[in-house]
Amino acid sequence: MFLRLFVISLFLLTMVQSKKRPPPSDVWNYRDGSGKVNMRGVANLTEILDNWRFDILTQMRNSLTQDHQSLLPDYARISPLSDALGDLFKEFNSLKEHLGDLTEKFSALEVTVDEMKLKLAETPRQRVNFPKRKVLVPKKKVPVQ
Q: What are the pLDDT digits (tens) for 78-132?
A: 677 778 888 888 999 999 999 989 888 888 888 888 888 888 777 766 665 666 6
Q: Are residues 65 and 104 in the same domain?
A: no
Domain of 98? 74-122
The domain tally of the chain equals: 2
- Whether residues 87 and 99 share a domain: the answer is yes
φ, ψ (nearest 5 deg) of residue 5:
-65, -40
Domain membership of residue 5 (yes or no) is: no
Residues 92 and 108 in one domain: yes
In a domain, 55, yes or no: yes
User: Where are any strands of DSSP class E within the chain?
Assistant: none
Residues 94, 78 share a domain = yes
Q: Within a domain: residue 15?
A: no
Check whether residue 112 and residue 91 sit in a common domain: yes
Q: What is the pLDDT of residues 35-69, one digit of tens each?
A: 777 777 777 888 889 999 999 999 988 888 888 77
